[in-house]
């Protein structure tokens, strides 16, 4: 299962990442992506964006389509901020949700 928090600034993101790491989560279990400044068009050549730091291929994309992780979250369309997504077992979902709330998450979505 994945929980996604929308944070308003980098300090909150840093605090959440530190809290999650102290809680036993590895950085590889997290995705961090900007929201609101993404290009809505689909690029046909992944090599055009492969060198960009913010490029993340999502499971919703076709073979030759690219986009940021944030573009795949329809519930947050039109909002701004930074997303922190965490892959977690269902057993830890409440604990992760509490960490996100304590870190100042504006929205929390279960994906």
Question: For position 84, what pLDDT does the model report?
Answer: 93
For residue 56, is pLDDT > 70? no
* Residue 85 CB coordination number (10 Å): 20
Domain residue ranges of the chain, discontinuous segments joined by +: 2-38+70-110
- Cβ–Cβ < 8 Å for 32, 83: yes
Average pLDDT of 8-28? 94
For 1-31, letters b (16+ CB in 10 Å) and e give eebbbbbeeeebbeebbebbeeeebeeeebb
Confidence of residue 40 (pLDDT cuts 50, 70, 90): very low
Phi and psi at 19, nearest 5°, equal -65, -45
The pair of three-digit structure tokens given for residue 12, joined into one six-digit string: 């909150």
**pTM recorded for the entire structure:** 0.71
- pLDDT tops 80 at residue 6: yes
44 pLDDT higher than 50: no
- CATH topology for 2-38+70-110? Alpha-Beta Plaits (3.30.70)
What is the total residue count of the chain?
111
Greatest Cα pair distance, the chain, in angstroms, is: 40
Residue 42 per-residue DSSP state: P
pLDDT at 64: 54
Q: pLDDT tens digit string along 57-80?
A: 455 555 555 566 666 677 777 788
Report whether pLDDT(53) > 50: no
Per-residue pLDDT at 41: 46
């Amino acid at each position: 299962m994945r929980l996604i928090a929308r944070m308003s600034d980098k300090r909150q993101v840093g605090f959440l990442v530190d809290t999650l790491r102290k809680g036993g989560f590895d950085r590889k279990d997290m995705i961090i992506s900007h929201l609101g400044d993404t290009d809505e068009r689909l690029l046909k050549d992944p090599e055009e964006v492969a060198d960009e730091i913010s490029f993340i291929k999502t499971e919703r994309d076709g073979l030759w389509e690219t986009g940021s992780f944030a573009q795949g979250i329809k519930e947050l369309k039109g909002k701004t901020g930074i997303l922190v997504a965490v892959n977690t077992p269902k057993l830890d979902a409440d604990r992760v949700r509490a960490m996100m709330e304590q870190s100042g998450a504006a929205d929390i979505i279960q994906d």
